[in-house]
Structure 1
Amino acid sequence: MQIFEIKKADIAKIKKLEEALDKLKSGEERYYVITKLSSIKSLCKNETLRRHYCWYLFDCVKRQLETKVTEVHQQTPKEQFIFNLVHEIAQVMVDMQEGKDVSNALHKHRNQLAHYQSDYKKIKWTTVRLIKSTDLLIIEYFIDCLLSTDDSAQKLAYHATRSYVERYDPSVGTGLITKSIPMFEDVAVFWRQVAFNNSYRVQ
């Protein structure tokens, strides 16, 4: 098993995420602003740990996507494209974990994802990207994160997490809400293992 050295300050951040999740589960809280997840940026400072996080959360997104896609013989062309593309990317992720050079494949799939959602619309004084699939946007963030080695990689890990967990309810608005719990739990599971599993070292 991979060994990471986790700072006490980072363990405190992970505990705060756990506390927020517990309060949503118990009903003590119904809403948190999405920036509650901003600690993901500093938690993902270590490149190796960040890669493991991307691989793990990619599998969560893939699983979520698969529950939305119908049986192969009943798929629409759009569903077929998404299904095939995600499974191709999944193999690249496996190859990367095995230590293979997958940079060309990652660039190729990143371009495919960007092209699939390349429509923009001008709204007032700004231009907004039109997103057909949030799941594919999250995967695009993961790939960008895996291709980056500077500070932007930490921000991309945060944006991927934010897009995965954030939900909307007319009674409370957009943010970390009751509907976010299953996705928030996925995020917490990873960091819980990093912080509290006996196989990891704490410094």
Structure 2
Amino acid sequence: MSTRTDAPTRREQILKEAARLFAERGFHGVGVDEIGAAVGISGPGLYRHFPGKDAMLAELLIGISERLLDGGRQRVEESDGDPEALLGALIDGHIDFALDDRPLITLHDRELDRLRDTDRKRVRQLQRQYVELWVAVVRRLYPAPPEAEARATVHAVFGLLNSTPHLGSASAGSRVLGRAEAESLLRRLAHGAFGALASAPASASVSASASASAE
């Protein structure tokens, strides 16, 4: 999540510009020379940092999956045990990513299948762990609905938050939402989606447990 305050390294600059160009024109529509020009070095000079475009793509998609998971784990570790506050922190962290790293969302949607099998499996593994981290928090806050419903809600919220690449284009006569407006809107929508679980019917296991306790 984009919380760095120190100056980016040359390698990070290359990755940032590669992500932007790949998202704008597609992986095969961008050459090494163009990426190099975007950071002020020759195309061949990029090979001192990466063996090629495939390696850049893999590092971008694996890297953002690792950052999201690490950020989620850090929020869990720093929480005071309040699941509502923790879910809010997870939502805010993902919103930061979704607003600050929009090209990576586009890149993931368009280019994930271009990764080698091992790299693509790594991305999927990291994403599953990230989902399960959220599911565990959501189930603590809303224990009544079935686990499958909680998991489906997490995926739905991710889809909602990851829609940010589409927030940047305005139709005639309309305007683009500012950062603060978009952040506030996404936060309300995410909390609203999870809040709907509060009125969901209890799962069979929870109902059975409650019945047994009443006897």
TM-score by length of 2: 0.29
Q: Which has the higher helix share?
A: 2
Which of 1 and 2 has higher RCO (CA within 8 Å, sep 6+)?
1
TM-score by length of 1: 0.30
Q: Which has the higher strand share?
A: 1
